[in-house]
Structure formats: C-alpha cells, structure tokens
C-alpha cells in the first residue's frame, strides 16, 4: 500500500507542480476531504528533487548555455579579453534570477509559518484556487492591459524580474500556482510566453535546489517512515510526469491558451467551498 501511496504522490507532484493549478492546494484539499496524509518532509523533498531533475532535463539546453557563458565570462575576464554579448546577457540573466529569488526567501523565512497556517483552512485554500483561476484568465488573448508580448529575457529589466519574484513570494500561499502566477506576471510585463516560462522555471531551480540541499543536510535515516525504494519510486514517477507536464505546458503557452486552466481551478475551488 505504501508503494501505491508513493506512486500516487509522484503522479500528483509531477502533474500539478508545473501545470498552473497549485500542487500544494491540491494536497491541502485532499487532506481535508479524505483525511489524506500529507507526505513527510523528506519524502516531499524527494518528490521535489524528481521535478527539479525534470526541469533540468527539459531545459537542459538553456541551463548548459548559461553555465557555459559563465565559464567563458570568467575566462575572458581573467585573460583580459572582451566578453561576448551573448555571454554577458546570460551572466546578467543569472543575476536577475538571483535577485528575483530574494522576495520568496525573505517571505518564506519571516512569514512562512503564518502562510502555512492558512492552509489549515480548506475554505481559504479553495478561495485561493478561485483567485488562481482569475490570475490565469489574465492570459486571455484579447486582454487590453497587456503589453505586446515581444520582449525576451535579455531585454527584461532587473526591476521587472524583481516584480516576478514578488509574485513568486505570494505564491507560497497554498492554492496559488507558482508557475501560473509567475508566468502570468512575465506575460503582463511583455515577455514572450515561452520566455516567461523559462524565467519561471529558472526561479524554480533556485528555490527547490536550496530546499533539497537543506533537507538532505538535516535528514536522519531514522526520521523517515518511507523505505528507500518508496522514496526512489516517488521521485522517479514525479520526474516522468513532470517532463510530460512541461511538454504540455509549453505547447499550451505556444498557443497562448494558459487561461484554459482557469475553469478547472474555479470548479475545484467552488467544490472545496461547498463540500468541505
């Protein structure tokens, strides 16, 4: 039974982490509706490690390109040579990602417990899922409030990136999708949808990498009720479904139809309000 549970959690994590429907919101409502046991911290981190690997594999070209640029920048500076424009842009992108990651770190450190406490109320989570649906509707193609989506990551200002980071911090609330809200913020700032997604998942890499490292450092073998096999199963399943979900998400973004996930969030949110 524990293996089935680990498999189910892997599927849930892989699908809802990247599709803009809030993985934490779903876990919270399942806990309230069916007495669903939330995974213990280390197992939860192993699931996130699976989705972290999914992002690294799916965006491997982007990640490798950025890493290569950093090494070339360092080499050029040490040799007194001019840094190529592409390498400068990629190095500056790293700075943007790190700066944009600050708000979530600050909010999580000082207000994380309070925001986590809100998840104990199923009605609040349900309302936030409905709010998440409203956020996704902002991606409707005929929206008049959007700038023309023609900017790439190189032309996105540091202030705009910081604004996306603030949105990510708000998405710590269960029911608000981190991917959905940050991609929407990028779109509203005029980024191409695909670049909004790339920046969103670069932020994800920073946030989850830090969490995974911290939890592994604190982990004690006797503190987990899951066997190594169950942990590996959950992580592998989360990875596989994470890659598939990323493929779906990028296709949806290419067709500019992120708003199609809004009705689902409305239905789940209303169901939570009425039934829980």
- Residues 186-198: pLDDT tens digits? 999 989 889 999 9
Asked if 236 and 11 count as a contact pair (C-beta separation under 8 A), the reply is no
Q: Where are the alpha helices (DSSP H) in 138-192?
A: 158-170, 178-188
Among 41-50, 89-98, 123-132, whose mean pLDDT is lowest?
Answer: 41-50
The pLDDT, as a whole number, for residue 148 is: 65
With a pLDDT cut of 90, the percent of the chain lying above it is 66
Mean pLDDT of 10-32: 93
Better pLDDT: 32 or 219: 32
Distance, CA of 222 to chain centre:
30
Residue 249 has pLDDT above 70, yes or no: yes
Mean pLDDT of 17-43: 86
Task: Look at residues 1, 13, 90 and name the one whose alpha carbon lies nearest to residue 44.
Answer: 13
Q: Say how far apart CA 152 and CA 111 lie, in whole Å.
A: 33
Residue 14 has pLDDT above 90, yes or no: yes
pLDDT band at 144 (very low <50, low <70, confident <90, very high): very low
Task: Look at residues 248, 200, 266 and name the one whose alpha carbon lies nearest to residue 25.
Answer: 266
Q: Say how far apart CA 106 and CA 95 lie, in whole Å.
A: 17
Axis crossing angle, helix 158-170 with helix 85-118, rounded to the nearest 10: 20
pLDDT band at 1 (very low <50, low <70, confident <90, very high): low
Q: Say how far apart CA 12 and CA 47 lie, in whole Å.
A: 10
The pLDDT, as a whole number, for residue 224 is: 63
pLDDT band at 221 (very low <50, low <70, confident <90, very high): low
């Amino acid at each position: 039974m524990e293996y089935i549970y680990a498999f189910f959690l892997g599927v849930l994590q892989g699908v809802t982490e990247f599709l803009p429907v809030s993985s934490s919101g779903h876990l919270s409502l399942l806990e309230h509706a069916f007495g669903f046991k939330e995974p213990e911290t280390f197992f939860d981190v192993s699931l996130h490690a699976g989705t972290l690997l999914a992002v690294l594999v799916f965006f491997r070209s982007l990640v490798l390109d950025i890493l290569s640029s950093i090494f070339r920048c360092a080499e050029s500076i040490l040799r007194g040579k001019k840094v190529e424009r592409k390498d400068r842009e990629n190095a500056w992108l790293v700075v943007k990602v790190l700066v944009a990651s600050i708000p979530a770190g600050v909010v999580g450190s000082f207000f994380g417990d309070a925001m986590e406490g809100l998840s104990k109320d199923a009605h609040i989570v349900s309302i936030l899922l409905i709010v998440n649906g409203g956020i996704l509707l902002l991606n409707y193609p005929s929206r008049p409030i959007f700038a023309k989506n023609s900017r790439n990551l190189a032309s996105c200002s540091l202030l705009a990136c910081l604004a996306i980071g603030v949105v990510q911090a708000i998405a710590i609330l269960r029911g608000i999708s981190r991917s959905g809200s940050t991609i929407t913020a990028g779109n509203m700032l005029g980024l191409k949808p695909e670049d909004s997604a790339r920046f969103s998942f670069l932020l994800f890499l920073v946030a989850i990498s830090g969490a995974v490292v911290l939890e592994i450092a604190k982990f004690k073998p006797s503190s987990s009720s899951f066997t190594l096999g169950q942990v590996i199963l959950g992580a592998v399943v989360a990875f596989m479904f994470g890659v598939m979900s990323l493929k779906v998400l990028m296709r949806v973004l290419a067709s500019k139809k992120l708003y199609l996930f809004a009705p689902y969030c409305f239905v789940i949110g209303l169901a939570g309000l009425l039934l829980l």
